[in-house]
Amino acid sequence: MSEMLEVSDLRVTFGGRGGLVAVDGVSLRVAPEETLAVVGESGSGKTTVARCVVGLQRPDSGTVTFEGRTLGPAGRRPPESQRAIQMVFQDPRSSLNPRMPVSDLIGEAWRTHPVTAPPGDRTEALHRLLADVGLDADVAGRRAGDLSGGQCQRVSIARALAVGPRLLVCDEAVSALDVSVQAQILRLLVDLRRSHRLALLFITHDLGVVHQIADRVAVMRRGAVVEEGPAGEVLGAPRHEYTQALLDAALDIGVEA
Amino acid sequence: MGGRVTAQRSDRSGTADPPHDGPLLRVEGLVVDLPRPDGAGDTLRVVDGVSFDVPAGTTVGLIGESGSGKTMTALSVIGLLPEHATTGGELVWRGASLLRPDTDWRRVRGHQISMIFQDPLAALNPSITIGRQVGEILRRAGRPRAEVRHAVIDLLDRAGVPDPERRMNSYPHEFSGGLRQRAMIALALAGSPSLLLADEPTTALDVTVQARILRLLRSIQREQGLAMLLVTHDLRVVAHVADEVVVMYAGRVAERGPAGAVLRRPAHPYTRALAASVPAVRTKTALPDPLPGSPATPANRPSGCSFHPRCPLARDRCRTEVPQAREVAPGRWSACHFAEEVFTP
């Protein structure tokens, strides 16, 4: 099988029986080194799908299969699958302990997955990792709370990379950043994807970034995928009226009201 | 709604325009100093010599990233700066200064100048129905009791709240994000202001809702001849709604001019980089070369031109000399020593 990740007929309901159906039969595939963007508005279920993939949310039914192995919730995954799928969250300020030095944040990832810890002196490996995400070595000694939003997001990406993932799940990873910093992080993800041979599951509400980063795109609405295909086709010639509505609502800079 | 609502009960002279020449609002060399958050003795200059005009009936977009001073500029216009803030320069509203100590803000705020915020839940009272909150402003503006209910329904209707007769009895938490923003727009319009300050009014909304709210603001603004100062980080919003644009960086104006012209043919390297970082939606564009580093902040403002550490054009002069805004083409102002290298008239 050529797929790396296969999400099959996923269903998630919040609030028990008769509750809110957040994800209603979603199936997705991601091939090795491929980037799939999942686009939708709030309440579309895109983040819930991402949380199922990393094992933070247990689906009511359906399966998450990674490299041929069906995965349960995070705590019950084999360590190898656990480390192979890493997540980058929207707000690095709330996903990183602000009082912890960057070196400890990365060290923690290595302690969690000892097979990935560099042998011997870790300083050099740490500096190499920071360089990979465009940070100077002196950032290692600084606390996350003293860094800018863009630097924080680079640290969370470094923490994910530290354990050698093959799939990076990015949930609105650039949405909370300043416009000029968003472009940096997008460029970084595109570069890392190539250099580290990563597959990306890129969750976003912003159609604008899809073209820049994704090979394929899945458009979600009310818990279901309404359209899926190569990014150029879906955005260039949408077949579903909801995709068309999203495109019509998305503002381009060159257009005036 | 019939006729203009004026604050005649609180002030016999009313809010009729005193005769004045020039724009509705003139911001002239505005300076805002705040106490340092770390408690150190001196102050932080968060707005540093900002100048622009808001002519009646026009929309001015105030663009900036975090720390640019855009929100502080807007808050100073409506007298809502944090405690212990000190101001300098001048804010001229209909020909008279707003920065005098005797400015009667209760007469201005909500009646002549209103504001809507990014998060309507924080601005609306959670324990009072939407209808009563809007009605309260109308009553305080002197609207006779018998007319208030009808006027509330009319305002909610114009703000696009469906079924306003029923929905006026709802509480804010019963509204969706888009409806809450509409309710806040109705609230802001209740005092019949001449200027609406909108601070990131659509940032928290879904794209489809965002487009509808922007259309609504645009049509209300046009129908009523309302002026709007739209504060946002989103160039796309400005491109769609604003007539003029003011681009701020680290508390200063980098560039200002007609919105379409500034965004298409910037005259400052910062605007150029911002515009390049907004991806096209329908066509595949290459990822731009991003600006290095993070936005400068007032607490950490570089010498000379604040933008120089991130600027591809920077040279010695930029490190030492603060650039003054100058007119590089009719109506186009740029605070870049080398604007001519960016700008093609």
Q: Is residue A172 part of a domain?
A: no
**Which amino acid, one-letter code, is at B190?**
A
Residue B274 confidence (pLDDT) above 50:
yes
pLDDT of residue B17: 53
Residue B2 confidence (pLDDT) above 70:
no
> In the listed set A165, A192, A217, which residue is the last one of a domain according to the structure?
A165
Q: Give residues 122 to 161 of B whose Cβ lies within 8 Å of A.
A: none
Residue A76 confidence (pLDDT) above 60:
yes
3-state secondary structure of A206: coil
The verdict on A85 and A134 lying in the same domain is yes
pLDDT tens per residue across span B243-252: 999 999 999 9
The verdict on A73 and A161 lying in the same domain is yes
> In the listed set A139, A165, A191, which residue is the last one of a domain according to the structure?
A165
Least confident of A87-96, A193-202, B10-19, B316-325: B10-19
A230 vs B contacts (CB less than 8 Å): none
Average pLDDT over residues A32-48: 95
The minimal CB distance from A236 to the residues B215, B282, B287 is found for B282
Least confident of B202-211, B229-238, B310-319: B202-211
Q: What angle do CA B112, B114, B115 make, to 5 degrees?
A: 160
Q: Which residues contact B63 (CB under 8 A, 6 or more apart)?
A: B70, B232, B233, B235, B238, B245, B246, B247, B248, B274
Q: Is residue A143 part of a domain?
A: yes
Quote the ipTM score.
0.81
Higher pLDDT among residues A256 and B25, named by residue: B25
Residue A257 confidence (pLDDT) above 70:
no
pLDDT tens per residue across span A186-205: 999 999 999 999 999 999 99
Contacts within 8 Å (CB) and 24+ apart, B37-41:
none
Tell me the sheet residues that pair with B62. B231, B246
Structural domain that includes position A127: 68-165
The answer to whether the CB of A42 falls within 8 A of the CB of A22 is no
DSSP3 helix / strand / coil % (chain B, rounded to 5): 35, 20, 45
Q: Say if B282 is an interface residue toward chain A (CB within 8 Å).
A: yes
Q: Band the pLDDT of B123: cuts 50, 70, 90.
A: confident
B276 vs A contacts (CB less than 8 Å): 183
Q: Is residue A194 part of a domain?
A: yes
Residue A114 confidence (pLDDT) above 80:
yes
Q: Band the pLDDT of A176: cuts 50, 70, 90.
A: confident
Least Cα distance to B74 among B56, B65, B61, B83 occurs for: B61
Least Cα distance to A166 among A107, A74, A83 occurs for: A83
Q: Is residue A101 part of a domain?
A: yes
Q: How many domains does chain A have?
A: 2
Least Cα distance to B25 among B194, B270, B198, B144 occurs for: B194
The verdict on A97 and A152 lying in the same domain is yes
pLDDT of residue B119: 86
Tokens standing for A70? 């069906």
The verdict on A78 and A63 lying in the same domain is no
The verdict on A208 and A239 lying in the same domain is yes
Residue A18 confidence (pLDDT) above 50:
yes
Q: Band the pLDDT of A254: cuts 50, 70, 90.
A: low
pLDDT of residue B298: 87
pLDDT of residue B13: 37
> In the listed set A106, A134, A165, which residue is the last one of a domain according to the structure?
A165
The answer to whether B287 contacts A182, with C-beta atoms less than 8 Å apart, is: no
Q: Which residues contact B333 (CB under 8 A, 6 or more apart)?
A: B253, B255, B256, B257, B267, B325, B326, B327
Residue A75 confidence (pLDDT) above 50:
yes
pLDDT tens per residue across span B162-171: 999 999 999 9
The verdict on A234 and A218 lying in the same domain is yes
A246 vs B contacts (CB less than 8 Å): 207-208
Q: Is residue A174 part of a domain?
A: no
Q: Band the pLDDT of A32: cuts 50, 70, 90.
A: very high
Least confident of A15-19, A192-196, B51-55: A15-19
pLDDT tens per residue across span B64-106: 998 899 999 999 999 999 989 999 999 999 999 999 989 999 8
Query: What is the rounded average pLDDT for all residues in chain B?
Result: 89
pLDDT of residue A121: 86
Q: Is residue A248 part of a domain?
A: yes
Q: Which residues contact A83 (CB under 8 A, 6 or more apart)?
A: A112, A113, A115, A116, A163, A164, A165
The verdict on A219 and A252 lying in the same domain is yes
A255 vs B contacts (CB less than 8 Å): 239-240
The verdict on A85 and A38 lying in the same domain is no
Q: Is residue A19 part of a domain?
A: yes
The verdict on A62 and A82 lying in the same domain is no
Residue B283 to residue A202: CA distance in whole angstroms:
19
Residue A239 to residue A227: CA distance in whole angstroms:
7
The answer to whether the CB of B54 falls within 8 A of the CB of B77 is no
Which residue in chain B has the smallest CA separation from A183? B290
The answer to whether B207 contacts A42, with C-beta atoms less than 8 Å apart, is: no
The verdict on A160 and A188 lying in the same domain is no
Q: Band the pLDDT of B281: cuts 50, 70, 90.
A: confident
Check which CATH number belongs to the domain holding A43 and give it: 3.40.50.300
B284 vs A contacts (CB less than 8 Å): 211-212, 231-232
Average pLDDT over residues A77-104: 92
Residue A16 confidence (pLDDT) above 80:
no
Q: Is residue A175 part of a domain?
A: no
The verdict on A75 and A158 lying in the same domain is yes
How do strand A61-66 and strand B195-199 relate by DSSP bridges? Answer: unpaired
Q: Band the pLDDT of A253: cuts 50, 70, 90.
A: low
Say what the alpha-carbon torsion angle A21, A28, A197, A174 is, to the nearest 10 degrees: -40
pLDDT of residue B345: 76
The answer to whether the CB of A59 falls within 8 A of the CB of A7 is no
CB pairs A-B closer than 8 Å: 119
Percent of chain A with pLDDT over 90: 79
pLDDT of residue B19: 61
The verdict on A81 and A5 lying in the same domain is no
- Residues making up chain A, counted from first to last: 257
The minimal CB distance from A179 to the residues B177, B211, B233 is found for B233
Q: Would the CA dihedral through A228, A230, A235, A238 be positive or negative?
A: negative
Residue A71 to residue A169: CA distance in whole angstroms:
15
How do strand B332-334 and strand B326-329 relate by DSSP bridges? Answer: antiparallel
